[in-house]
Structure 1
Amino acid sequence: MKRLCLLLTLCCGTSQAAADLFKLPGYQDEDGAILLQAHGRHVDPYFAMKALLTAEELGLSIAPAADAWTAWLAPRQESNGSFPRFERQTNGDWRRAADADADDSTLALWISLLSRRYRQQDMPPALQASLARARRALWKLRQPRSGIYDYAAGAKLGYLMDNVEVYAALRDDCARTGAGCRRVRQLAAALPKAFWEAKTRRWRTASRDLPPVAFYPEAAAQLFPKMAGLPPMPGQASFDAWLLGEGRPWLAQDPPQLDFPWGLLALAALRDGREDAARAWLRQAAPARGTPRWNVLEEAVFQGLALRLAATAEPEQRLEE
């Protein structure tokens, strides 16, 4: 009987693990590179790492994909610690295509990924060295007076969404390696001072030079602090209120108002117990899968939500028809 139980455990456990893997056909090459779009030729490390972390948060196993990815990316880290974007040439080789869109958030996601994937004692020496370079590069972006992080060296400009991702990375690093704990507290205190507008009861998207009002970044940014576990500010709109107001284009998946499907915001729905909204996104966004509007981050959300919501009964309808 013991042998039978062991065999069943091994069999079923293996089957379950395989079913819960983050699958990346068309997105991850044999060399480990994770493409921005399926069968494409561009790699944006930010999107690859955000996809892996989001997939893990939604319950998918990312170990094989993450190990192959880190083995590919770590040797391509630049001497200053940053990670550029890449393009595949016609001969199959990769070339540096552009700087990171935002160094602070890209460095933050690398720190989060390594901190979550490896215990300190199990991290290969090459990755430990890479993590140390990323930390140093990120810390150099901190504004001494405000306590927030610039999106790039010398920019003197911080973005709310980037700084929230930096906060999450510092928290991950503190929890798993013991590094950066003081910096977590400093940034948690700095964020409301730099970005919260008490009069309008809204988060500002940038420390200066606010971009034009649009769904991204204005509406999307309002959910980011709470998604990262930061406490809500006095008078801050709830997810329900957001969904009935500026979140309507997201729920309806209205292409003229959305640059991308923005599946990441479904995590805010789950955090607030709104599985109905997450299910609605899954249905509404499905037609965009495989189109130019779809990228590896949307794919991670789609697979993760499909797994997570399949395990629960569909709740009573709460959304307006």
Structure 2
Amino acid sequence: MAFHATDHPLTPDSQAPQCLHLSQTHSGLKRWIGNALACFVLAAPLCTSAAVLDLEGYADTSGAISVQHQGDTVDPYFALQALLLAHSHGLDISTPAKAWGAWLVQRQKPDATFDRFCRNGPVWAPCKTADADDSVLGLWLAFMDSMPASQRSQASWVRSRMATSAALAKLVDPNQGIYLVSPVYQHGLLMDNLELWAYPLTHKAAQNARHPNFTKTLATVFWDDQRKRYLVSTQPGQRETAHAFYPDAVAQIFPLLVRFPLIPGGAPAHYRRWMAEHRNEWLAQVKDDFAWGLVAVVAVQQGDIPSARCWLRTALPHRHGAHWTVTDEVAAQILQSKAITAAVDTTNCTSPRHPPARSP
């Protein structure tokens, strides 16, 4: 659920609100899969000569990857998002990915969906259903296809892939040509559908005679030409909802994250407009919500290194803290692997910028 689905990480004693479902309370971070599913070489062998992803404090000896540093919650969405993001940006994920895949495939439910898990002593026990089935199923498929043939050819993985593909296909709404969140939440989310779009093998199931092109369908269903903005959801009342950074502002930049091609006005202009409207708001999020490192990854993709450096300056003091997730950790390591360092002062970090954005 793309950050179209972003809950606060769960704790054993509390449950996070389902932020992506507009009928629920907003809290803040969960559906960003952005580049994770993007058309980067997901089926390629894992790189062994690149910078190595370091998930110390997130990955444990069992293979589980917690949402936060030394955390008590495992959410498959976050772990899959983080690993795919790192892989798509050239980091070597082989060690944590192999262990994580072996851990998760054993915990897939008979209907092919996944729970979230809380620590119960030495055991990770199911404690809540997934925030959104569509995005988690899509990320799991993309993750499996990113793994070496020796792992994905194992019988348990072959069975999982078949079951996952079938379960995801059942979430298609043939009348709209999009994916729905789950059998319970019968609406479509922009960010979830873009995450799925970024994994090309999901296109076929969503297409039919009325909707022959998944790319064009998403542009038609979710673009609000009156307001010149993307709709977060197909739920009614979208134009009347109060602004919140998540999901509203996040949804507007999400097409850039996955390199969606049908952005009215083009990607550079769309990015410049987003930064003019939301840059300060984004950089302030880490104080009260989450760091939103994926926006820094978008900045790098668009050639806006100053904004990425400002994010490092603002967010790194909160590293491994309550407002920092495993996806933020991956975003920071991606920037550091590209020799991008934190801004030395706040001169360029306290006012909206109009960067000369470009698509890579």
Q: TM over 0.5: same fold?
A: yes
Q: What is the CA deviation profile of residues 190-216 of structure 1, one whole-angstrom value per residue up to 9, with x for unaligned ones?
A: 212211011111100000144542000
In the TM superposition, what is the alpha-carbon distance from 1:69 to its structure 2 partner? 0.2
2:319 matches 1:292: no
SS at match of 2:92: coil
1:84 equivalent to 2:101? Answer no
- In the alignment, is the contact (CA less than 8 A) between 2:286 and 2:323 conserved in 1? no
CA–CA distance in structure 2, aligned partners of residues 120 and 228 of structure 1: 28
Offset at residue 233 of structure 1 (A)? 2.7
Q: Larger deviation: 127-136 or 213-222?
A: 127-136
Q: Deviations over 1:18-47 (max 9, x none)?
A: 871111111111010001111122100000
The answer on whether the counterparts of 2:172 and 2:206 sit within 8 Å (CA) in structure 1 is no
Q: 1:126 to 1:200 in 2, by over 3 A?
A: same
How far off is 1:110 after superposition? 0.5
TM-score, length-scaled by structure 2: 0.75
8 A Cα contact 1:112 1:168, kept in partner: no
Q: Is the 8 A contact 2:178 2:206 kept in 1?
A: no
**Cα distance change on mapping 1:282 and 1:276 into 2, 3 Å:** same
Could you tell which deviates more after superposition, 180-189 or 284-293?
A: 180-189
Contact kept in structure 1, 2:151 and 2:157, CA below 8 Å = no
**Offset at residue 131 of structure 1 (A):** 1.3
CA contact (8 A) 1:226 1:232 kept: no
1:85 partner SS: strand
1:105 and 2:135 aligned: yes
Q: 2:231 aligns with which of 204, 208, 218?
A: 204
Q: Secondary structure at the match of 2:56?
A: coil
- CA RMSD for the aligned pairs? 2.6
| Correspondence 1:22 to 2:53 | yes
The structure with the larger Rg is 1
Task: Report the counterpart of residue 196 of structure 2 in structure 1.
Answer: 166
1:54-110 superposed Cα distances (whole Å, 9 cap, x missing partner): 1122221111111100000001001111111011212x1221111100111111110
- Determine the structure 1 residue equivalent to 2:306: 276
Aligned equivalents of 1:126 and 1:262: distance in 2? 34
- Which structure has more RCO (C-alpha within 8 Å, separation ≥ 6)? 2
Instruction: Give the 5 Å matches for 1:1-321.
Output: 20-90=51-121, 92-119=122-149, 123-169=153-199, 171=200, 174=201, 181=204, 183=206, 186-209=213-236, 210=238, 212-235=242-265, 237-253=269-285, 255-256=287-288, 259-310=289-340
Summarize deviations over 1:227-248 as a string: whole Å, max 9, x none: 2121143246521221111232
Structure with the higher helix share, 1 or 2: 1
DSSP 3-state at the match of 2:339: helix
Residue 22 of structure 2 corresponds to which residue in structure 1? none
Q: Report if aligned partners of 2:172, 2:205 keep a CA contact under 8 Å in 1.
A: no
Q: Provide the rounded CA distance (Å) in 1 between the counterparts of 2:303 and 2:195.
A: 22
Paired with 1:114 and 1:233, the residues of 2 have a C-alpha distance of 29
Instruction: Tell me how many residue pairs correspond in the alignment.
Output: 292
Q: Please give the alpha-carbon distance, in whole angstroms, between the structure 2 residues aligned to 1:114 and 1:66.
A: 10
Q: Which moved more, 1:41-50 or 1:227-236?
A: 227-236
Under a length normalisation based on structure 1, what TM-score does the superposition of the two structures give? Answer: 0.83
Which whole-Å CA distance do the structure 2 matches of 1:180 and 1:123 have between them?
23
Contact persistence 1:46–1:106 (CA under 8 A): yes
Larger CA deviation: 270-279 vs 33-42: 270-279
Quick one: distance in 2 between partners of 1:193 and 1:59? Answer: 33
**Mapped contact 1:243–1:251 kept (Cα < 8 A):** no
SS in 2 for 1:96: strand
Identity within the alignment, %:
36
Cα contact 1:266–1:281 (8 A) shared by 2: yes
* CA deviation profile, 1:149-203 (whole Å, cap 9, x unmatched): 111114221111111111113x1xx3xxxx8556476421221221101111110
